Amino acid sequence: MTGAEKRRTARISQILDAAALCFVEMGFHRAGMAKIAARAKMSPGHIYHYFESKEAIIAAIVDRESAKAAERFAELDAVDSNELASVMTERAIQSIEEKTDILQSALNMEMLAECQRNPEIACIIQRHDKYIRDQLTHLIGNKIGLDLAEARTDMMMVQFSGLANRLLRNPDMDLSSMIALMRQTMQSILTPDTIGDHV
């Protein structure tokens, strides 16, 4: 990466972080480009140089998440099929322990609420979700070789979304004492024929 590219990347990152804070603190509707610029300590013109609208900023925030996820999926795709279920469970637990934070959770809620009134944002969120789902379904169905791969994928994602949601409703939640239960739940979602009795 050249110096100019690095500066550009840093600048964009600075805008996305400032925008995320503004969306959470003011709500998407009130967080105008001028407020995002002030928060990022840039001129509004400078922001418009990179992003034409708040929706474009949301798209970039979501794309940044997709890029991080793509790296993790590439790593998982290289894991031996026999070990994949346990590696996926441990990675999931690790990411819950490290990365479950209030700001990210609140931003997700704000974006999901906005989905109902802004079709452009709904489209961005649902496209990202489909990307994550396709990757997980590939790992679960093709590599681990489980049936009901789409449903198992959605159930894995229920755990992540649900936890983010819980964190906002119960700020005293003891994440560490939930980890063992979460591991067990994820293991059972990634285990064959355990649901045979109930189908």
Lay out the site mask for a copy of itself across 63-82 (x = CB under 8 A, - = otherwise): --------------------
Build a one-symbol-per-residue string for 3-32: x at contacts with a copy of itself by CB under 8 A, - elsewhere: ---------------------xxxxxxx--
If one counts every other C-beta atom within 10 angstroms of the C-beta of residue 10, the result is 10
Token pair, residue 40, equals 């990022």
Q: Which is nearer to a copy of itself, 34 or 168 (CB)?
A: 168
Q: Applying CB under 8 A, does 1 fall inside the site for a copy of itself? A: no
| 54 lies in the binding site for a copy of itself (CB under 8 A) | no
Among residue numbers 120 through 139, which ones bind a copy of itself (CB under 8 A)? 125-126, 129-130, 133
Residue 39 binding a copy of itself, by CB under 8 A: no
Query: Which residue, 12 or 86, has its beta carbon nearer to a copy of itself?
Result: 86
- Please report, for residues 20, 30, 67, 132, 195, the alpha-carbon distance to residue 137 in angstroms, rounded to integers and kept in the order given: 29, 37, 18, 9, 18
Q: Is 115 in the site for a copy of itself (CB under 8 A)?
A: yes
Touching a copy of itself, residues 136-195 (CB under 8 A): 148, 150-152, 154-155, 157-166, 168-171, 173-174, 177-178, 180-185, 188-189, 194-195
Can you tell me which residue has the tokens 């939930």?
A: 178
Q: Evaluate whether 108 touches 164 at the Cβ level (below 8 Å).
A: yes
According to CB under 8 A, which one of 113, 123, 145, 192 is a site residue for a copy of itself? 113
Residue 54 CB, nearest approach to a copy of itself (Å): 14
Binding residues for a copy of itself (CB under 8 A): 24-30, 102, 106, 108-110, 112-117, 125-126, 129-130, 133, 148, 150-152, 154-155, 157-166, 168-171, 173-174, 177-178, 180-185, 188-189, 194-195, 198-199
